[in-house]
Amino acid sequence: MIEIVGKRGRDMDRRKFLLTAATGIASASLLGRSLAAEGSRSVADIATAADPMALQDSGATGPLREFRLVAGQGETEVAPDEVYRNWMYNGQFPGPEIRVKEGERLRIIVENQMPEGTTVHWHGVPVPNAMDGVPGLTQEPIAPGESFVYEFEATPAGSYIYHSHVGLQIDRGLIGPLVIEEATPHVAYDRDYVLVLDDYFPGDPQPLGGMGGRGGMMGRMMGGGMMGMGRQMPPYEGLLIGGRLPDDPRVFETKRGERVRLRLINPSGATTVRAAIGGHRMSVTHCDGRPVEPVTVDSLVLGAAERYDVIVEAANPGVWPIVIAAIEGNAPPGRAVLRYADAAASALRDGVPEGFSGGRQLYYQDLQALETLPAGRPDRVFDLMLRGGMMGSAWTINGQAYPNADPLMINKGERIRFRMSNHSMMLHPMHLHGHFFRVGDALKDTVLVAAHMGRAEFDFVADNPGRWFFHCHNIYHMEAGMAREVRYA
Ligand code: C2O
Ligand code: CU
């Protein structure tokens, strides 16, 4: 059990001190630009605002948006009588929604009030390398009691995730949604909701596979799944939507005739889910944040870190379940509710949405980007074999387990192709930092490689120099070595 460091009063003093320090960093990063000129309040003003744990938005409509994220101990109810105590952002789980407009400049002051180091990664946003939040690659972890200022341009528009990139901190609760709104969406809608999907692990996650870890022991005892699977997934107790177990679901309101945009984002530690809504189809409009030609389906699959935006036409009044079910592992399903105005909550139509038993499922081949895709023959091709999971061993790429692994060397301006083949019994959601890549006719930043000899490939243009992480977004696989550095020569 982790304790909040110090007492309230002392905490406040320390906070003031840290923010003074942060002010220094922030000013330095301004390179002479004036805060006042941009219509923003200063960091110091934000520091003295009334609720120190609130997500503090400078409120400016100008190009600079400033937020403060405090990573520290928090507690929240995930169901009636089920209190989740863990590390979270600003005492909220999932972390507060950060929502800005495309082209604004984002400055986020991250303050670490936990007893171990942390970083924040802006998953999917092609930020400058130094702002990418990867420990040991782009920055040192933010030490306990210290702050770090991230600053980058909020572009392109999309639904993103922010999360810790240290160890297994994602499964402690250090996740949140980041929405960059487009100036002119290619689809019309009346409401815009973010649904954060997550696997629920109360406590302190441990590496899997080894003999010592609690997760490993419990996994073995729980058994289930196929051979070896029990200990390859943490013993998740359920799936959450918006931080709630199905007993006390989040309710999303609508009215007949509306079009509802749902931003489904999956910052799970390890779980790939299928999602479907009772009584409604979904028109998929964005994939990993990027606009696609709308395609209507009954269900879709989201690997860890994948996102889809969908539009639901509210034409079937009632109270309907939004259900997610795990594709790997034993976590029971998660649920939220889509409720039409005037419908009584008790009218919830329980049961399994049609999308789980049939109907059209979304495949990557269905996705057609609305923007120009990298095309042409690749200058450089990497064949990457994904392996591991046998007898609690490492997870590897071409036999090497990060950090004892060679960087994948590329040159600026090249067209690069990654061809992955999965020689293991588990799915791997593979993510490349700092770039969007082309999968089929879509742009993505994370791609699922199916188990049992599944294959996937993607192309990208080397246009964002730096040292970038490429890894499986199952954090237990990442921690056990399924990662590489992609380095510009
Ligand atoms: Cu979602 Cu390496 O990150
Ligand atoms: Cu994996």
Q: Tell whether 454 is covered by a domain.
A: yes
Beta carbon of 484 within 6 Å of any ligand 1 atom? no
Q: Tell whether 9 is covered by a domain.
A: no
* Phi and psi angles of residue 2, each rounded to the nearest 5 degrees, phi first: -100, 140
Q: Select from 117, 151, 183 the last residue of a domain.
A: 183
Query: Which ligand sits closest to the CA of 305?
Result: 1
d(CA 149, CA 131): 9
Residue 314 has pLDDT above 80, yes or no: yes
Residue 296 has pLDDT above 90, yes or no: yes
At residue 33 the predicted structure's pLDDT band, cuts being 50, 70 and 90, is very low
- 253 and 388: one domain? no
At residue 99 the predicted structure's pLDDT band, cuts being 50, 70 and 90, is very high
Among 138-152, 162-176, 197-211, which stretch is predicted with the lowest mean pLDDT? 197-211
Rounded mean pLDDT, 434-459: 97
Distance (angstroms) between ligand 2 centre and the Cα of 101 equals: 33
**Number of domains within the chain:** 3
d(CA 363, CA 461): 24
CA torsion 59-114-479-452 (nearest 10°) is -60
Residue 130 has pLDDT above 70, yes or no: yes
Domain of 438, CATH number, reads 2.60.40.420
Q: Tell whether 447 is covered by a domain.
A: yes
Which strands form 251-254's sheet, in the order they lie side by side? 251-254, 334-340, 319-326, 273-277, 300-302
C-alpha 268, offset from chain centre: 7
Q: Select from 366, 391, 421 the last residue of a domain.
A: 366
Average pLDDT, the chain: 85
- 340 and 401: one domain? no
What pLDDT, on a 0 to 100 scale, did the predictor assign at position 88? 97
Rounded mean pLDDT, 209-213: 44
Nearest in space to 433 (alpha carbons), one of 386, 471, 400: 471
Q: Tell whether 317 is covered by a domain.
A: yes
Among 221-230, 288-297, 306-315, which stretch is predicted with the lowest mean pLDDT? 221-230
- Residue 3 vs residue 208, higher pLDDT: 208
- 147 and 31: one domain? yes
The structure's pTM equals: 0.85
Query: Which ligand sits closest to the CA of 266?
Result: 1
Looking at the CA of residue 471, tell me the nearest atom of ligand 1: 2
Say which residue the tokens 């999971």 belong to: 389
- 389 and 362: one domain? no
Beta carbon of 308 within 6 Å of any ligand 1 atom? no
- 80 and 105: one domain? yes
DSSP secondary structure letters along 131-152:
GS--BTTTBPPBPTT-EEEEEE
Which residues keep their CB under 5 angstroms from ion ligand 2? 428, 472, 474, 477
Q: Tell whether 319 is covered by a domain.
A: yes
pLDDT, one tens digit per residue, over 317-371 is 999 999 999 999 889 999 999 999 988 777 888 778 888 988 999 999 999 999 9
- Strand pairing report for 483-488 and 408-410: parallel
- Count of helix runs (H) and strand runs (E) in the chain: 4, 30
Residue 24 has pLDDT above 80, yes or no: no
Q: Tell whether 227 is covered by a domain.
A: no
d(CA 461, CA 452): 29
* Three-state secondary structure of 339-391: EECCCCHHHCCCCCCHHHCCCCECCHHHCEECCCCCCCCCCEEEEEEEEECHH
Rounded mean pLDDT, 468-478: 97
Q: Tell whether 231 is covered by a domain.
A: no
Distance (angstroms) between ligand 2 centre and the Cα of 77 equals: 30
Query: Which ligand sits closest to the CA of 272?
Result: 2
Q: Which residues are CB-neighbours of 357 under 8 A, at least 6 positions away?
A: none
What pLDDT, on a 0 to 100 scale, did the predictor assign at position 329? 83
- 331 and 419: one domain? no
- 434 and 347: one domain? no
What pLDDT, on a 0 to 100 scale, did the predictor assign at position 341? 94
pLDDT, one tens digit per residue, over 219-274 is 334 433 334 444 678 999 999 999 999 999 999 999 999 999 999 999 999 999 99
Q: Tell whether 273 is covered by a domain.
A: yes
Residue 21 has pLDDT above 50, yes or no: no
Distance (angstroms) between ligand 1 centre and the Cα of 315 equals: 37
- 479 and 411: one domain? yes
- 161 and 31: one domain? yes
Range of the domain at 86: 22-183
d(CA 121, CA 402): 19
d(CA 375, CA 365): 17
- 163 and 263: one domain? no
Nearest in space to 323 (alpha carbons), one of 235, 448, 189, 197: 197
Residue 329, CA distances (Å) to 3, 218, 234, 325 in order: 31, 13, 8, 10
At residue 19 the predicted structure's pLDDT band, cuts being 50, 70 and 90, is very low
What pLDDT, on a 0 to 100 scale, did the predictor assign at position 391? 64
What pLDDT, on a 0 to 100 scale, did the predictor assign at position 45? 34
- Residue 386 vs residue 214, higher pLDDT: 386
- 252 and 124: one domain? no
Classify residue 104 by its DSSP letter. -
- 388 and 480: one domain? yes
Distance (angstroms) between ligand 1 centre and the Cα of 306 equals: 10
